[in-house]
Amino acid sequence: MVLNYSTQSFISLLIHFYGVRGLFITLLIVLCAFNPTAITVVAAAQSNQNSDKETETETKSDAVIKLSAPKSVKKLIKEYISFPEEPFVNDTARAVFVRKTKEEIRELLATEGYFTPTITLEDHLAGEKPVLKVAPGKRTRVAEVTIEFQGDLATDTAEHQERMEQLRANWPLIPRKFFRSAVWEEAKASLLSNLAESEYAAAQIVTSEAEIDPAAATAKLKVVIDSGPVFYFGDLQISGLQRYDQGLVTSYVPFQKGEVYRRDQILAFQAALQNLPHFSSVSVSIDPDIASHQATPINVILTEARAQRIGVGVGYSTNTGARGELNYRHANLINFHNQPLNFISLLRYEQKRQTLFARLETIPDRNRYLFSLSAKVERTDIEDLKTFSQRVSFNRERTTETMQSQYGLTWQREERSPAGAPDTVSEALVLDSWWRYRNVDNPLFARRGHISEIRFGGGTQYVLSKRDFVRMYARHQHWWPIGERDVLYLRAELGYTIASSRLGIPQEYLFRAGGINSVRGHNFLSLGVTEGDAIVGGRTLGTGTLEYVHWFTENWGGAIFTDVGDATDSWKSFDPSVAYGSGIRWRSPAGPLALDLARRHDTGALHVHLSIAAAF
């Protein structure tokens, strides 16, 4: 379980341990990341110091026998061969060790292309340790590479010739490169894998030879590979199903019987089944038996997951306060035409927002499309605006590795009570669409990539809406890696609701700003339109963030940032607010933590923003 830390206690601990001066120094360290010249100078100086300390012969060692070797091989030898620290019992024991060590060093150096090493033991005067000297000799380079093909691929057609040439072109161990055993083995494995990934599932290496000429320090390489026959997809052989119909599996097959075998299709099929909540483990494979190459069976081995699951989560953010949630999922609540329907429900209680949500959805088809019917009841109390809303949605959705899309119909009714202003009721039937593209290296801790999001929708007073409106929204986030540890982050969002007035439109289709993931230096959703004593949504939105994060360690980092933005009822009154500050980043086992101290440029007021969450 993860503890919920209050903002005040967290800041008190930081000041207690580091003080104002310590926090100032931390900020300076982060700022140093912007000066690559200084970093280069420091790195060069450190490199010079290290090179001065490194010598060919060990001068500080407890070993009975010292090692003398060029730096290019010394590290390798010390990594795999241990030298005794206790004196030998007698000369025979020492002779055995030296003979064995020489053999091991020769074998080790041969893997790196050194086939003519000279290894000698030099005894010194009494009181001095003997030295084992290693001269690796000339390193072997590849002189010639021959790759021959047999089987169906070797037939004389333009398509086959092109593929063979492509396989040869992808061979990594080309002439003039140093010969290394590990690279030699990897090259053969890669050649076989590239051939077997499409059509030739039974491909195998018939012969592989590395002819070494120690005197000339050259290597002649030869590989003969048999492609075997072309394989075609056959029937599915499914095992492990108990509660579900085979249609659940067959609806995700990305290929047709009789199509040419492709490994990526097998992997895509397996990934699609693994993403379903119905299975805890999935294995999809074929047996590359030449006898059945015209219709090779696809083996699908499944382990069904528990149909019902309960989850609990806790968290805290300065946006909505402490949070606790309970979710319940049923992967087979209703069986509709031999297809299970998933049920998802959520009860979330936050200090400023409470939500009850339920959703019934079909399983995705082979093109990743599904239909969903959902209902949500939500109560909020943010910036002296109290709302109570009910909504029902019917959507068609699609989720792939990089893209999510949704379009459908949503009915929403909202009661709002702004402090110091009359209560009102809004109602809308909205035709809504949403699209999101994500291409990042890590969904939780991104260093490279971008996320783009677009939403477009609207309603008319002629069909269950109190006002005609069209809402448009776009958001983009981008991450750039700087050096080995640092990250530059950019966020921009823009929104506009076309309507004669904001009145009668639910808050979801208007805009407010402020807080985490918006404009720090302001309270959550405190930028908007003043109505009485409350802040309500307006028809325009524009915000942006520029942030630089320097990671001191694998899990701890510091950030400096600038936020800008505003939400108003018209572009004429749009007046962006600017805030800037610094913060701490922690890659905790429970998830990312961000603690920021932001200063408003106009008033100088300081605001603390904290976010942490855990699910279990």
Got the DSSP string for 504-562? Answer: TS-GGGSB-B-STTS-TTS-TT-BSEEETTEEE-BSEEEEEEEEEEEESSSSEEEEEEE
List the CATH number of the domain containing 430.
2.40.160.50
Q: Please give the average per-residue pLDDT across 21-40, as a whole number.
A: 39
In a domain, 16, yes or no: no
At CA 162, angle to CA 159 and CA 166, rounded to 5? 140
> What pLDDT shows up at residue 29?
40
User: Is residue 43 pLDDT above 90, yes or no?
Assistant: no
- Do 477 and 568 lie in one domain? The reply is yes
Domain boundary among 177, 196, 226: 226
Which amino acid, 172? Answer: P
More confident of the two residues 14 and 254: 254
- Do 210 and 170 lie in one domain? The reply is yes
Q: pLDDT tens across 48-94, in order?
A: 333 333 434 554 455 688 889 998 899 999 999 888 888 888 889 88
User: Is residue 434 pLDDT above 90, yes or no?
Assistant: yes
> What pLDDT shows up at residue 125?
62
- Do 506 and 606 lie in one domain? The reply is yes
Q: Quickly state the pLDDT bin for 505 (edges 50, 70, 90).
A: very high
- Do 105 and 75 lie in one domain? The reply is yes
- Do 316 and 401 lie in one domain? The reply is yes
Q: pLDDT tens across 176-216, in order?
A: 999 999 999 999 999 999 999 999 999 999 999 999 999 99
- Do 549 and 515 lie in one domain? The reply is yes
Answer for the pair 239, 162: CB distance below 8 angstroms, yes or no.
no
Q: Quickly state the pLDDT bin for 492 (edges 50, 70, 90).
A: very high
Q: Please give the average per-residue pLDDT across 4-19, as a whole number.
A: 39
- Do 489 and 604 lie in one domain? The reply is yes
In a domain, 267, yes or no: yes
Statement: the pTM of the whole predicted model exceeds 0.75? no
Q: pLDDT tens across 312-365, in order?
A: 999 999 999 999 999 999 998 887 777 789 999 999 999 999 999 999 999 888
List the CATH number of the domain containing 157.
3.10.20.310
In a domain, 354, yes or no: yes
Closest CA to 83 of 101, 110, 70: 101
- Do 266 and 351 lie in one domain? The reply is no
In a domain, 25, yes or no: no
Domain boundary among 272, 289, 304: 304
Structural domain boundaries enclosing 284? 233-304
Answer for the pair 116, 134: CB distance below 8 angstroms, yes or no.
no
- Do 457 and 372 lie in one domain? The reply is yes
Q: How many domains does the chain have?
A: 4
d(CA 248, CA 274): 12
Q: What is the mean pLDDT of the chain?
A: 88
> What pLDDT shows up at residue 57?
52
Domain boundary among 248, 271, 304: 304
> What pLDDT shows up at residue 172?
93
Specify the range with the lowest mean pLDDT, choosing from 116-130, 218-232, 510-524. 116-130
User: Is residue 426 pLDDT above 70, yes or no?
Assistant: yes
